[in-house]
């Protein structure tokens, strides 16, 4: 009974924030993610000043005023019932617009470390999301520790910190099914391997289908799953209601159910991989931006950053939806396009919802996090391509209407916050991996179309083996950038939204 509370909503004490500072999290956004402060019912109204004052007092060297930045406020300003958002209407024929801007990118300049980056490294990984960090850790595990990871923001700033944490084996192609199975296995033992809890909860995925075409897709996929050892079952609407008693089955024709699919808390994966890789000697440089490349004789020789150049042998581009912009600095055109996906979270509730539920027809998905919040989103078929992390009222309305149709009691729940993240969309919904035509030491690791988070542990494991041993792996032969020029597409159709 002697705690000094900084965030009474989430029970975050001053000792906990001091621990975060010791771990190197010295800005408001990073501390928010590491401790969870500011994510409760008041959304930071009560705690932000107290946390910023503690940072000003404890961080060494003392932060300048320009380095103390408030976190991006997430709408709504006060918890607001889904039923109210659902009462509005929207024009499904129109494309969604900009929305409330996200401050990602504003923080880079002031928080950029003053010391230069290492002058050379064997491998430079661009992008400190889950793909880059898991690759770094896997390389280090294999003895390759001369690795620098470059991240332009804070850890969790990109899509790895913005997704819903769903991990599933229910995919439409054998490759993704196998990768996902391996990832789920690795996630299940993440705490053992890396010493950090990721709140892995195998509550299953329940896909609902409302049209014959989607039923056929689920049936096709389920047959494939069974061939590959995934116990997906096709359920009648009544049987699906037994899985989640609160759901209405209006319009539902069938469901697909795999009890082995899971939900995780995304943020700790990044710290887990980053801390473990750093322990082995990997350098993780946050708030550091790549501004160009030096090339000679058909190879990348240096990565140029806003903190100096790094001479290197191999460069891995793992910047998610930001990859095309980075690749263009090397004169490489990637076909990926960023697509905004909006998402939101309600107040925390006592556990009542086991699986992640998704209506494949509309792109609605929702699950209950380990903290009790209903976290969910819904793709917008009219969303135009482009980097846009704005939040819209249109999304809240579409999502609230769709969610309350499936779970009527949710109408009285309140949205606490909404945000968005970019899907990294490729023309065939499959990733871009392996060597770049014309620049063989620039390796691609992007294009995961919203499921990079769940594929990362397995893909990184194979990529590290491929890089370290030089043994061929079909993953890095089939999913190359050259396939688009060659017209060899790898179509995946089990994409939510």
Partner 1 sequence: MSQRLAPVTNPVTIEVDGESLTAEAGEPVAVAFVAAGRTTLSRSIKYHRPRGPFCLSGGCSQCLVRIDGVPNQFACQTPARSGMRVERQNAFPDASVDVLQATDFVFKKWFNHHEFLAGVPVVEKVMLQIARKLSGLGLLPEKPAPERPKPVIEAAGVVIVGGGAAGLAAARRLEERGVTFLLLEREPACGGRLLVGCDDGAPAIVVPKSAQVRTGATVVGVFADEGRRFLAVVQNERLHLIFPERLLLTNGGQPTLLTFPNNDLPGVFASRAVSRMIRKHRVLPGKRIAVVGEADEAKQLAKLITTSGGTPLAVGAEPVRVHGLRSVQAITVSAAGKTEKLDCDAVALCAPQSPAFELARAAGARVGWDARARLFAVEADAAGKAAAELWVAGELRGPMSAAAAAEQGLVAAEAIAAAVKGATP
Window 218-277: residues binding partner 1 (CB under 8 A): 246, 268, 271
Helix, strand, or coil here: 188?
A: helix
- Whose CA is closest to 163, among 79, 267, 318? 267
Q: Which of residues 416-475 bind partner 1 (CB under 8 A)?
A: none
Q: Are strands 262-263 and 166-167 parallel, antiparallel or unpaired?
A: antiparallel
For residue 197, the minimal CB distance to partner 1 (Å) is 5
Nearer to partner 1, 267 or 479 (CB): 267
78 binds partner 1 (CB under 8 A): yes
Question: Applying CB under 8 A, which of residues 409, 427, 440, 493 lies at the interface with partner 1?
Answer: 409
For residue 155, the minimal CB distance to partner 1 (Å) is 13
Helix, strand, or coil here: 207?
A: strand
How much is the CA Rg of the chain, to the nearest whole Å?
22
Question: Applying CB under 8 A, which of residues 75, 165, 266, 497 lies at the interface with partner 1?
Answer: 75
User: Which pair of structure tokens corresponds to residue 87?
Assistant: 């009462």
Nearer to partner 1, 57 or 212 (CB): 57
Nearer to partner 1, 134 or 323 (CB): 134
Helix, strand, or coil here: 468?
A: helix
404 binds partner 1 (CB under 8 A): yes
Determine contact, residues 96/395, Cβ cutoff 8 Å.
yes
Opening angle at CA 464, ends 180 and 307, nearest 5? 110
Nearer to partner 1, 27 or 424 (CB): 27
Q: Which of residues 185-224 bind partner 1 (CB under 8 A)?
A: 189, 191-197, 199-201
Instruction: For residue 110, give Cα distances in angstroms to 61, 65, 71, 127.
Output: 14, 10, 14, 19
Determine contact, residues 497/366, Cβ cutoff 8 Å.
no
Nearer to partner 1, 100 or 239 (CB): 100
How far apart are alpha carbons 145 and 258 in whole angstroms?
Answer: 38
Question: Applying CB under 8 A, which of residues 83, 173, 178, 295 lies at the interface with partner 1?
Answer: 83
Q: Which stretch binds partner 1 (CB under 8 A): 63-71, 121-129, 136-144, 160-168?
A: 63-71
How far apart are alpha carbons 300 and 318 in whole angstroms?
Answer: 16
Question: Applying CB under 8 A, which of residues 61, 65, 381, 470 lies at the interface with partner 1?
Answer: 65
Question: Applying CB under 8 A, which of residues 24, 59, 80, 259 lies at the interface with partner 1?
Answer: 80
For residue 54, the minimal CB distance to partner 1 (Å) is 7
Q: Bridge partners of 358?
A: 207, 365
Helix, strand, or coil here: 406?
A: helix
Determine contact, residues 290/304, Cβ cutoff 8 Å.
yes
Question: Applying CB under 8 A, which of residues 1, 114, 297, 474 lies at the interface with partner 1?
Answer: 1
Contact string (CB under 8 A) for partner 1, positions 136-165, x = contact: ------------------------------
386 binds partner 1 (CB under 8 A): no
- Alpha-helical regions (H) of 244-310: 266-279
State the number of CA atoms in the 13 A half-sphere of 204 facing the CB.
17
Q: Which of residues 306-365 bind partner 1 (CB under 8 A)?
A: 347-352
For residue 387, the minimal CB distance to partner 1 (Å) is 17
For residue 376, the minimal CB distance to partner 1 (Å) is 15
């Amino acid at each position: 009974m002697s705690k000094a509370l900084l965030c009474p909503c989430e029970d975050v004490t001053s000792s906990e924030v001091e621990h975060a500072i010791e771990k190197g999290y010295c800005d408001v956004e990073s501390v928010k993610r590491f401790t969870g402060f500011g994510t409760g019912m008041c959304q930071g109204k009560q705690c932000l000043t107290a946390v910023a004052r503690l940072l000003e007092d404890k961080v060494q060297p003392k932060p300048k005023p320009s380095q103390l930045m408030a976190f991006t406020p997430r709408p709504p300003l006060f918890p607001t019932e889904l039923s109210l958002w659902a009462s509005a209407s929207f024009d499904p024929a129109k494309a969604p617009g900009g929305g409330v801007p996200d401050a990602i990118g504003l923080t880079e300049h002031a928080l950029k470390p003053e010391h230069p980056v290492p002058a050379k490294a064997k491998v430079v990984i661009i992008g400190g999301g889950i793909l880059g960090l898991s690759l770094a850790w896997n390389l280090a595990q294999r003895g390759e520790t001369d690795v620098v990871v470059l991240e332009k923001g804070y850890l969790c700033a990109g899509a790895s910190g913005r997704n819903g944490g769903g991990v599933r084996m229910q995919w439409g192609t054998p490759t993704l099914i196998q990768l996902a199975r391996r990832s789920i296995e690795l996630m299940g033992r993440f705490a053992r391997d890396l010493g950090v809890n990721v709140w892995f909860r195998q509550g299953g995925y329940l896909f609902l289908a409302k049209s014959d075409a989607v039923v056929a897709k689920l049936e096709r996929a389920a047959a494939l799953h069974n061939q590959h050892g995934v116990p997906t079952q096709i359920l009648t609407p009544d049987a699906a209601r037994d899985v989640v008693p609160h759901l209405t089955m209006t319009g539902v024709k069938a469901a697909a159910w795999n009890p082995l699919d899971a939900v995780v808390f995304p943020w700790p994966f990044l710290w887990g991989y980053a801390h473990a890789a750093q322990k082995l000697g990997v350098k993780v440089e946050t708030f550091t931006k790549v501004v160009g490349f030096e090339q000679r004789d058909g190879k990348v020789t240096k990565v140029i950053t806003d903190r100096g150049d790094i001479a290197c042998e191999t460069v891995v581009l793992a910047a998610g939806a930001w990859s095309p912009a980075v690749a263009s600095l090397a004169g490489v055109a990637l076909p990926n396009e960023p697509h905004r996906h909006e998402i939101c979270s309600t107040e925390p509730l006592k556990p009542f919802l086991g699986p992640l539920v998704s209506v494949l027809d509309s792109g609605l998905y929702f699950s209950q996090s380990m903290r009790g919040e209903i976290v969910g989103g819904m793709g917008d078929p009219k969303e135009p391509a482009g980097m846009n992390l704005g939040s819209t009222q249109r999304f809240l309305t579409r999502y609230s209407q769709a969610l309350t149709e499936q779970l009527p009691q949710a109408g009285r729940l309140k949205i606490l916050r909404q945000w968005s993240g970019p899907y990294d969309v490729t023309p065939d919904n499959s990733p871009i991996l392996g060597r770049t035509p014309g620049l063989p030491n620039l390796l691609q690791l992007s294009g995961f179309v919203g499921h990079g988070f769940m594929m990362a542990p397995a893909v990184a494991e194979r990529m590290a083996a491929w890089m370290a041993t030089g043994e061929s792996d079909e993953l890095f032969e089939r999913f190359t950038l050259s396939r688009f020029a060659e017209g060899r597409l790898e179509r995946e159709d089990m994409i939510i939204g």
